[in-house]
Structure 1
Amino acid sequence: MRIAGIILAGGQGRRMGREKALVPLSGVPLIARVLALAPQVEAVAISANGDPGRFGLGLPVLPDRPGESGLGPMAGIRAGLDWAAGIGAEALVSTATDTPFLPEDLVERLAAAAPAHAQSFGRDHYTAALWRVATVPRIDALFAADERRIARLSGGAVAVPFDTTPDPFANLNTPEDLARAEDRLRQNAP
């Protein structure tokens, strides 16, 4: 199966006080840390609105489709699925820009259970998921029903457990979360 990847970087970063994708963690922007996903997929794009040049990573930056701006991660996944289909991929793995400790076998394990999303310690991580390109009509139907919850899109997907300590899906929403991540790196426990 040909698999592409998308980094969901469209959030406002209100609790962090700035755009999370560009927040440095030990001197490296979060989005660059999440880019560790790249060797696991055939191609990677970024889902974000606004100036694509701010990332400076040389990757395609996909804005939400017209009428879907601000509809959350599902809009980014929808744009990513269009892009993935356009490059001949059959599936898309999504990850959030604020999860800098992704497992090195994320794509392999999600693909083995596809369609699938990650789970750690009983908590579902719907933005860390593998979506088949054929999911597009389901997203369109959910948007038509004014449904934006990504958990609804994931219905029927297998939850793949990643129960390693520390949690590989710990997301960074606040300056306090960032400080904990800095401590984690200092302790050399990615």
Structure 2
Amino acid sequence: MKPVTLILAGGEGRRMNGGKPLRLLGGRTLLARTLDYAHQLDFPVALGLRSHDQISSIPELKIIEDRPDIEGPLGGVMAGLAWADSKGFNAVLTIPVDMPWLPDDLARRLIEKANGEPSYAYSAGNAHPICALWPVAKLGDAECYAAKGGRSLRGLLEILEARRVEWPVGDQDPFANLNDPLALAEAEHQLQKSR
């Protein structure tokens, strides 16, 4: 399998009062932390944004703009799949910019379970469709889903009969995301405690 990692960072982050990728955790931006994680996976990395001007100082990597006709993260996934197809990649691994505790074995386990099909993360009774492996071969099916008005990643994974990959949850859910200032403050507290 020849995947590319796509960091989904196109959300408006309204509950965070905007600019979520540039929020600080432990003195580093969420984007910088996610880039470090993505580069450790050893796949090419791209950044999905609503538009190039969403972030004033963009790191030197491929920027893929979300499909403007599709709202939410599905617009990022669709744009990523189309770009990957044009570049000869056969899958897109999506991760969000706001999950700082992602497990080290995410890519390996999703790829192992996929066997040519989509796969996604699951923990503590919750699906995490934004952490998923999307085969480029499913682009046509995804296009049909979007053309019929589908906008949910969860709904697309159901239609594609994606494979669920479960992770245990210890003291910290590895898929906890930082959606608001309170969650960010709690993550900062956890980080300081672990030092």
TM-score normalised according to structure 1 size: 0.92
What SS does structure 2 have at the residue aligned with 1:38?
helix
Partner residue in 2 for 1:7? 7
What SS does structure 1 have at the residue aligned with 2:154?
helix
What SS does structure 2 have at the residue aligned with 1:54?
coil
CA distance in structure 1 between the aligned counterparts of 2:104 and 2:88, rounded to whole angstroms: 24
| 1:181 has 2:187 as partner | yes
Gaps of 5+ in 1: none
Partner residue in 1 for 2:62? 60
| 1:48 has 2:71 as partner | no
Deviation at 1:55, TM superposition (A): 4.4
Deviation at 1:140, TM superposition (A): 0.9
Which consecutive segments of 4 or more residues in structure 1 shift more than 6 A?
A: none
Q: 2:174 aligns with which of 141, 147, 168?
A: 168
| 1:132 has 2:126 as partner | no
Partner residue in 2 for 1:110? 110
CA distance in structure 2 between the aligned counterparts of 1:10 and 1:122, rounded to whole angstroms: 26
Q: For 1:42-97, what per-residue CA distance to the aligned partner results, in whole angstroms no more than 9, with x for missing partners?
A: 211111123166243211111123533xx111110111112222332111100111
CA distance in structure 2 between the aligned counterparts of 1:88 and 1:147, rounded to whole angstroms: 26
CA distance in structure 2 between the aligned counterparts of 1:79 and 1:128, rounded to whole angstroms: 16
Percentage of identical aligned residues: 39
Deviation at 1:169, TM superposition (A): 0.7
1:17-28 → structure 2 map (5 Å cutoff): 17-28=17-28
Provide the aligned C-alpha RMSD in A.
Answer: 1.5
What SS does structure 1 have at the residue aligned with 2:16?
coil
CA distance in structure 1 between the aligned counterparts of 2:110 and 2:57, rounded to whole angstroms: 27
CA distance in structure 2 between the aligned counterparts of 1:20 and 1:53, rounded to whole angstroms: 10
Q: For 1:19-62, what per-residue CA distance to the aligned partner results, in whole angstroms no more than 9, with x for missing partners?
A: 21111111111111112122214211111123166243211111
Which piece of structure 1 moves more, 160-169 or 45-54?
A: 45-54
Contact 1:139–1:153 (8 Å) recurs in 2:
yes
The total of aligned residue pairs comes to 187
What SS does structure 2 have at the residue aligned with 1:15?
helix
CA distance in structure 1 between the aligned counterparts of 2:12 and 2:151, rounded to whole angstroms: 17
Deviation at 1:167, TM superposition (A): 0.6
CA distance in structure 2 between the aligned counterparts of 1:79 and 1:110, rounded to whole angstroms: 21
| 1:150 has 2:156 as partner | no
